[in-house]
Structure 1
Amino acid sequence: MAFFGITYLGYQNPVGDRMLPSAQNKLDTRGPKELYRVPVTDNQRYGWWVPTGGLKNQEPWTQIRHFPRKNSEMTKFVNEMSMTYPDFSLF
């Protein structure tokens, strides 16, 4: 009894049935959205409907500006002291 591809053993080809017809012959594409019509696993559902460009291009409030500090105050102090006094050591 194989109506609609379902038997007592489950779906016969669960991954292949969800592939796009254009992607079945060429598997060199990288993204799941380029290979499948719908998400194959539950973990792919999280970002499936997010636009390709991401939220940064569409929602400016999602962007966070970062200003990392390259050197701490202690590192600056040690660098300056080692330049001024070649024999300087913290220990």
Structure 2
Amino acid sequence: MAFFNVTRLGVQDPVKASLRDEKETQDIYDTKKKTLKVDVSTERKTAIKLDSSEIYKDKRRRHERSLLGPKEVYQTPMTTSQEYGWHDNNEKEPWMQSKRHVHVNSEMTKFVKSMALTNRDFSLY
């Protein structure tokens, strides 16, 4: 009967249940407190959670991003699409980078260029 919100526990809120505790997120805010910028026009910190739609619209207009990733806000992924790429890291792993050996000109290209410089009548065809 939980599907119809007919339980003795009251109304269930799955989004609120998956959020981290305020104490845990407060620790995250305290560690990054030194790097927060103050908005001069409204005197708000830029890395706060968005409690109102006006703050959300203002941040969206200014293209400001939150310093907290989804892993720091939620305990588990909310949807199945968040299971991939859920652990957001800005650092690249060493196995993700490939060594590149660039060959600007192949041997055949070098040969054709040198022959074209030395012999005007040279043609591959």
Structure 2 unmatched ranges of 5 or more: 20-46, 51-55
For the residue of structure 1 that corresponds to 2:48, the secondary structure is helix
Structure 2 length-normalised TM: 0.41
Q: Which residue of 2 aligns with 1:66?
A: 100
77, 83, 91: which one pairs with 2:117?
83
Code of the residue aligned with 1:49 in structure 2: it is: H
Cα distance, 1:80 vs. partner?
0.9
| 1:55 aligns to 2:93 (yes or no) | yes
Instruction: Count how many residue pairs are aligned between Structure 1 and Structure 2.
Output: 74
Cα distance, 1:22 vs. partner?
2.8
| 8 A contact 1:81–1:88 mirrored in 2 | yes
Change in Cα spacing, 1:77 to 1:40, as seen in structure 2 (3 Å) is farther
Distance 2:85 2:65 in 1: 16
Cα distance, 1:81 vs. partner?
0.9
Code of the residue aligned with 2:107 in structure 1: it is: E
Distance 1:34 1:77 in 2: 56
Change in Cα spacing, 1:83 to 1:30, as seen in structure 2 (3 Å) is farther
Structure 1 unmatched ranges of 5 or more: 7-13, 57-61
Q: Which residue of 2 aligns with 1:3?
A: 11
Q: Which has the higher strand share?
A: 1
Structure 1 length-normalised TM: 0.51
Distance 2:89 2:102 in 1: 29
Cα distance, 1:74 vs. partner?
1.0
Q: Percent identity?
A: 31
Distance 2:65 2:121 in 1: 56
Change in Cα spacing, 1:87 to 1:51, as seen in structure 2 (3 Å) is same
The CA RMSD over aligned residues, in Å, is 3.5
